[in-house]
Structure 1
Amino acid sequence: MNIAEVSRKFDLSQDTLRYYERIGLLPSVPRNKSGIRDYSEEDCRWVEFIKCMRNAGLPIEVLIEYVTLFQQGEDTVAARKELLLEQRKQLLARMEDMQSTLERLNKKIDRYEQSVIVKEQELKKTH
Protein backbone atom coordinates (compact mmCIF):
# COMPACT_ATOMS: atom_id res chain seq x y z
CA MET A 1 0.00 0.00 0.00
CA ASN A 2 1.20 3.48 -0.67
CA ILE A 3 1.02 6.29 1.86
CA ALA A 4 -2.23 7.71 0.45
CA GLU A 5 -3.96 4.34 0.84
CA VAL A 6 -2.67 3.89 4.38
CA SER A 7 -3.70 7.44 5.20
CA ARG A 8 -7.27 6.76 4.07
CA LYS A 9 -7.44 3.33 5.69
CA PHE A 10 -6.42 4.57 9.14
CA ASP A 11 -7.77 8.12 8.87
CA LEU A 12 -4.36 9.64 9.55
CA SER A 13 -2.80 12.37 7.47
CA GLN A 14 0.16 11.53 5.26
CA ASP A 15 2.15 14.12 7.22
CA THR A 16 1.36 12.26 10.45
CA LEU A 17 2.54 8.97 8.95
CA ARG A 18 5.76 10.58 7.75
CA TYR A 19 6.25 12.20 11.16
CA TYR A 20 5.74 8.89 12.97
CA GLU A 21 8.35 7.29 10.74
CA ARG A 22 10.79 10.21 11.10
CA ILE A 23 10.74 10.14 14.91
CA GLY A 24 11.08 6.37 15.09
CA LEU A 25 7.54 5.70 16.26
CA LEU A 26 6.85 3.71 13.12
CA PRO A 27 9.60 1.36 12.00
CA SER A 28 11.16 2.45 8.71
CA VAL A 29 8.81 1.73 5.82
CA PRO A 30 10.48 0.21 2.76
CA ARG A 31 10.26 2.03 -0.56
CA ASN A 32 9.64 0.71 -4.04
CA LYS A 33 11.94 1.29 -7.02
CA SER A 34 10.44 4.74 -7.51
CA GLY A 35 11.20 5.73 -3.92
CA ILE A 36 7.54 5.63 -2.84
CA ARG A 37 6.74 4.17 0.56
CA ASP A 38 5.36 0.65 0.21
CA TYR A 39 3.53 -0.32 3.42
CA SER A 40 3.35 -4.04 4.13
CA GLU A 41 0.71 -5.75 6.26
CA GLU A 42 3.18 -5.63 9.16
CA ASP A 43 3.68 -1.88 8.66
CA CYS A 44 -0.10 -1.44 8.68
CA ARG A 45 -0.36 -3.40 11.93
CA TRP A 46 2.16 -0.98 13.45
CA VAL A 47 0.12 2.00 12.21
CA GLU A 48 -3.04 0.48 13.68
CA PHE A 49 -1.30 -0.22 17.00
CA ILE A 50 0.12 3.30 17.21
CA LYS A 51 -3.22 4.90 16.36
CA CYS A 52 -5.00 2.78 18.98
CA MET A 53 -2.45 3.62 21.67
CA ARG A 54 -2.42 7.33 20.81
CA ASN A 55 -6.25 7.41 20.89
CA ALA A 56 -6.03 5.93 24.39
CA GLY A 57 -3.71 8.78 25.38
CA LEU A 58 -0.35 7.03 25.50
CA PRO A 59 2.46 9.55 25.04
CA ILE A 60 4.55 9.43 21.88
CA GLU A 61 7.70 9.11 23.99
CA VAL A 62 6.41 5.92 25.59
CA LEU A 63 5.49 4.46 22.22
CA ILE A 64 8.91 5.34 20.80
CA GLU A 65 10.49 3.55 23.75
CA TYR A 66 8.26 0.53 23.10
CA VAL A 67 9.16 0.42 19.39
CA THR A 68 12.85 0.78 20.23
CA LEU A 69 12.65 -2.08 22.71
CA PHE A 70 10.71 -4.19 20.21
CA GLN A 71 13.38 -3.66 17.57
CA GLN A 72 16.05 -4.83 20.03
CA GLY A 73 14.49 -8.28 20.07
CA GLU A 74 13.42 -10.94 22.50
CA ASP A 75 15.75 -9.81 25.28
CA THR A 76 13.42 -6.85 25.86
CA VAL A 77 10.16 -8.77 26.33
CA ALA A 78 10.11 -8.17 30.11
CA ALA A 79 10.83 -4.46 29.67
CA ARG A 80 8.11 -4.13 27.04
CA LYS A 81 5.62 -5.91 29.27
CA GLU A 82 6.51 -3.66 32.21
CA LEU A 83 6.12 -0.57 30.06
CA LEU A 84 2.67 -1.73 28.91
CA LEU A 85 1.61 -2.64 32.45
CA GLU A 86 2.51 0.86 33.63
CA GLN A 87 0.57 2.42 30.77
CA ARG A 88 -2.44 0.23 31.53
CA LYS A 89 -2.30 1.39 35.16
CA GLN A 90 -2.25 5.03 34.06
CA LEU A 91 -5.05 4.45 31.54
CA LEU A 92 -7.24 2.83 34.20
CA ALA A 93 -6.66 5.82 36.48
CA ARG A 94 -7.65 8.22 33.67
CA MET A 95 -10.74 6.11 32.98
CA GLU A 96 -11.74 6.32 36.65
CA ASP A 97 -11.32 10.10 36.53
CA MET A 98 -13.39 10.27 33.36
CA GLN A 99 -16.10 8.06 34.88
CA SER A 100 -16.26 10.34 37.90
CA THR A 101 -16.53 13.38 35.65
CA LEU A 102 -19.24 11.69 33.59
CA GLU A 103 -21.24 10.92 36.72
CA ARG A 104 -20.94 14.52 37.85
CA LEU A 105 -22.08 15.78 34.44
CA ASN A 106 -25.03 13.40 34.46
CA LYS A 107 -26.12 14.67 37.88
CA LYS A 108 -25.83 18.25 36.69
CA ILE A 109 -27.84 17.51 33.54
CA ASP A 110 -30.48 15.69 35.61
CA ARG A 111 -30.85 18.77 37.82
CA TYR A 112 -31.38 20.97 34.77
CA GLU A 113 -33.90 18.52 33.32
CA GLN A 114 -35.78 18.41 36.65
CA SER A 115 -35.75 22.19 36.76
CA VAL A 116 -37.28 22.36 33.28
CA ILE A 117 -39.96 19.81 34.23
CA VAL A 118 -40.88 21.78 37.36
CA LYS A 119 -41.13 25.02 35.38
CA GLU A 120 -43.31 23.33 32.74
CA GLN A 121 -45.62 22.01 35.47
CA GLU A 122 -45.85 25.45 37.04
CA LEU A 123 -46.72 26.98 33.66
CA LYS A 124 -49.49 24.40 33.16
CA LYS A 125 -50.96 25.28 36.56
CA THR A 126 -51.13 28.97 35.71
CA HIS A 127 -52.85 28.40 32.36
Structure 2
Amino acid sequence: MPDSASLLSIGQVAERTGLSVHALRFYEREGVLVDPVRRGPAGRRVYSENDVEWLTVCIILRASGMPLPAIRRYTELVREGDGNEEERLALLRARHRPDRRPGPVPGPGEPQGRRLRGHPHRPGRPLPAGLERTLIQILARTTAVRPDRHA
Protein backbone atom coordinates (compact mmCIF):
# COMPACT_ATOMS: atom_id res chain seq x y z
CA MET A 1 0.00 0.00 0.00
CA PRO A 2 1.37 3.46 -0.81
CA ASP A 3 2.55 5.47 2.19
CA SER A 4 -0.11 7.69 3.72
CA ALA A 5 1.64 10.87 2.54
CA SER A 6 0.95 9.92 -1.09
CA LEU A 7 -2.72 9.04 -0.55
CA LEU A 8 -5.41 11.40 -1.78
CA SER A 9 -8.89 12.09 -0.43
CA ILE A 10 -11.94 11.74 -2.64
CA GLY A 11 -12.14 15.54 -2.82
CA GLN A 12 -8.53 15.82 -3.98
CA VAL A 13 -9.12 13.18 -6.66
CA ALA A 14 -12.29 14.96 -7.78
CA GLU A 15 -10.34 18.20 -8.10
CA ARG A 16 -7.46 16.56 -10.00
CA THR A 17 -9.62 14.61 -12.43
CA GLY A 18 -12.55 16.96 -12.87
CA LEU A 19 -14.96 14.17 -11.92
CA SER A 20 -17.51 14.84 -9.20
CA VAL A 21 -17.36 13.05 -5.88
CA HIS A 22 -20.63 11.40 -6.90
CA ALA A 23 -19.05 10.16 -10.17
CA LEU A 24 -16.08 8.72 -8.26
CA ARG A 25 -18.40 6.79 -5.94
CA PHE A 26 -20.43 5.65 -8.97
CA TYR A 27 -17.29 4.37 -10.75
CA GLU A 28 -16.36 2.48 -7.59
CA ARG A 29 -19.82 0.85 -7.37
CA GLU A 30 -19.76 -0.03 -11.08
CA GLY A 31 -16.41 -1.82 -10.80
CA VAL A 32 -14.44 0.28 -13.26
CA LEU A 33 -11.50 0.96 -10.95
CA VAL A 34 -8.55 -1.40 -11.34
CA ASP A 35 -7.92 -1.58 -7.60
CA PRO A 36 -10.45 -1.66 -4.80
CA VAL A 37 -10.79 1.74 -3.15
CA ARG A 38 -8.95 1.72 0.14
CA ARG A 39 -10.16 3.29 3.36
CA GLY A 40 -8.12 5.45 5.68
CA PRO A 41 -8.08 5.11 9.48
CA ALA A 42 -11.29 7.18 9.76
CA GLY A 43 -13.04 4.96 7.19
CA ARG A 44 -12.88 7.55 4.40
CA ARG A 45 -11.92 6.64 0.85
CA VAL A 46 -8.28 7.18 -0.07
CA TYR A 47 -6.76 6.97 -3.53
CA SER A 48 -3.26 6.50 -4.91
CA GLU A 49 -1.59 8.10 -7.92
CA ASN A 50 -2.23 4.81 -9.72
CA ASP A 51 -5.96 5.31 -9.12
CA VAL A 52 -5.78 8.84 -10.56
CA GLU A 53 -3.94 7.52 -13.63
CA TRP A 54 -6.59 4.86 -14.15
CA LEU A 55 -9.42 7.37 -13.75
CA THR A 56 -7.75 9.46 -16.46
CA VAL A 57 -7.89 6.44 -18.77
CA CYS A 58 -11.58 5.96 -17.91
CA ILE A 59 -12.26 9.63 -18.73
CA ILE A 60 -10.58 9.18 -22.12
CA LEU A 61 -12.57 6.02 -22.82
CA ARG A 62 -15.88 7.68 -21.86
CA ALA A 63 -15.03 10.74 -23.97
CA SER A 64 -14.47 8.41 -26.92
CA GLY A 65 -18.01 7.06 -26.54
CA MET A 66 -17.19 3.78 -24.82
CA PRO A 67 -20.15 2.69 -22.66
CA LEU A 68 -19.66 1.81 -19.02
CA PRO A 69 -20.08 -1.99 -19.48
CA ALA A 70 -17.26 -1.95 -22.04
CA ILE A 71 -15.04 0.06 -19.68
CA ARG A 72 -15.82 -2.47 -16.95
CA ARG A 73 -14.78 -5.30 -19.31
CA TYR A 74 -11.62 -3.42 -20.23
CA THR A 75 -10.88 -3.01 -16.51
CA GLU A 76 -11.31 -6.77 -16.01
CA LEU A 77 -8.78 -7.41 -18.77
CA VAL A 78 -6.30 -5.02 -17.15
CA ARG A 79 -6.76 -6.79 -13.80
CA GLU A 80 -5.99 -10.12 -15.47
CA GLY A 81 -2.55 -8.78 -16.41
CA ASP A 82 -0.36 -9.34 -19.41
CA GLY A 83 -1.28 -11.65 -22.26
CA ASN A 84 -4.62 -10.18 -23.31
CA GLU A 85 -3.40 -7.05 -25.08
CA GLU A 86 -4.93 -8.14 -28.39
CA GLU A 87 -8.33 -8.52 -26.73
CA ARG A 88 -7.95 -5.09 -25.12
CA LEU A 89 -7.08 -3.48 -28.43
CA ALA A 90 -9.98 -5.26 -30.14
CA LEU A 91 -12.33 -3.91 -27.46
CA LEU A 92 -10.98 -0.39 -27.96
CA ARG A 93 -11.43 -0.66 -31.72
CA ALA A 94 -14.91 -2.18 -31.46
CA ARG A 95 -16.09 0.61 -29.22
CA HIS A 96 -15.04 3.35 -31.60
CA ARG A 97 -18.19 5.40 -32.22
CA PRO A 98 -18.35 7.02 -35.66
CA ASP A 99 -20.80 9.62 -34.36
CA ARG A 100 -18.28 11.04 -31.91
CA ARG A 101 -15.23 13.13 -32.69
CA PRO A 102 -12.08 12.43 -30.73
CA GLY A 103 -11.14 15.64 -29.06
CA PRO A 104 -8.95 16.95 -26.34
CA VAL A 105 -9.54 15.33 -23.00
CA PRO A 106 -10.56 17.92 -20.43
CA GLY A 107 -7.78 18.79 -18.01
CA PRO A 108 -7.94 18.73 -14.23
CA GLY A 109 -10.78 20.86 -12.94
CA GLU A 110 -12.52 21.06 -16.32
CA PRO A 111 -16.01 19.55 -16.67
CA GLN A 112 -16.06 15.99 -18.04
CA GLY A 113 -19.67 15.88 -19.22
CA ARG A 114 -19.29 17.57 -22.61
CA ARG A 115 -20.50 15.46 -25.52
CA LEU A 116 -18.19 15.08 -28.48
CA ARG A 117 -19.53 15.75 -31.96
CA GLY A 118 -19.45 13.37 -34.92
CA HIS A 119 -16.49 12.92 -37.22
CA PRO A 120 -16.28 11.60 -40.76
CA HIS A 121 -15.25 8.00 -39.98
CA ARG A 122 -17.63 5.42 -41.40
CA PRO A 123 -17.97 1.82 -40.17
CA GLY A 124 -16.04 -0.65 -42.30
CA ARG A 125 -13.27 1.79 -43.13
CA PRO A 126 -9.93 1.80 -41.37
CA LEU A 127 -9.78 4.04 -38.33
CA PRO A 128 -8.19 7.44 -38.87
CA ALA A 129 -4.44 7.34 -38.14
CA GLY A 130 -4.73 9.70 -35.18
CA LEU A 131 -7.45 7.62 -33.56
CA GLU A 132 -5.53 4.40 -34.13
CA ARG A 133 -2.49 6.00 -32.43
CA THR A 134 -4.65 7.10 -29.50
CA LEU A 135 -6.03 3.58 -29.06
CA ILE A 136 -2.53 2.14 -29.04
CA GLN A 137 -1.41 4.78 -26.50
CA ILE A 138 -4.32 3.84 -24.23
CA LEU A 139 -3.37 0.19 -24.57
CA ALA A 140 0.24 1.02 -23.66
CA ARG A 141 -0.86 3.12 -20.69
CA THR A 142 -3.16 0.47 -19.33
CA THR A 143 -0.58 -2.25 -19.81
CA ALA A 144 1.74 -0.17 -17.63
CA VAL A 145 -0.95 0.36 -14.95
CA ARG A 146 -0.53 -2.47 -12.50
CA PRO A 147 -3.06 -3.21 -9.79
CA ASP A 148 -1.71 -2.39 -6.34
CA ARG A 149 -1.34 -5.41 -4.15
CA HIS A 150 -2.73 -4.83 -0.67
CA ALA A 151 -2.65 -6.93 2.41
TM-score category (smaller protein): 0.5 to 0.7
Structure 1's consecutive aligned runs of 4 or more residues displaced over 6 angstroms after TM superposition are none
Match of 2:61 among 53, 58, 71: 53
Report the counterpart of residue 39 of structure 2 in structure 1. 31
Higher strand share: 2
Question: Is residue 2:80 matched to residue 1:75?
Answer: no
How far apart are the structure 2 equivalents of 1:95 and 1:13?
23
How many residues align? The count is 97
- Cα separation, partners in 2 of 1:41 and 1:85, compared to 1, 3 Å: same
Question: Is residue 2:99 matched to residue 1:94?
Answer: yes
Q: Greater CA deviation, 75-84 or 1-10?
A: 75-84
Q: Deviations over 1:20-64 (max 9, x none)?
A: 011101131222222221111100001111112112211111100
SS in 1 for 2:31: coil
TM-score (norm 1): 0.67
How far apart are the structure 2 equivalents of 1:13 and 1:44?
13
Higher helix share: 1
SS in 2 for 1:94: coil
Structure 2: which amino acid aligns with 1:94?
Answer: D
How far apart are the structure 2 equivalents of 1:22 and 1:15?
11
TM-score (norm 2): 0.58
Shift of 1:99: 4.1
How far apart are the structure 1 equivalents of 2:118 and 2:86?
30
Question: Share of identical aligned residues, percent?
Answer: 30
How far apart are the structure 2 equivalents of 1:54 and 1:69?
17
How far apart are the structure 1 equivalents of 2:100 and 2:72?
23
Kept in 1: contact 2:64–2:100 (CA 8 A)? no
Larger RCO (CA within 8 A; separation ≥ 6): 2
Match of 1:5 among 12, 22, 26: 12
Structure having the higher Rg: 1
Structure 2: which amino acid aligns with 1:25?
Answer: V
Structure 2: which amino acid aligns with 1:6?
Answer: V
Q: Greater CA deviation, 60-69 or 71-80?
A: 71-80
Shift of 1:95: 4.4
Shift of 1:82: 1.2
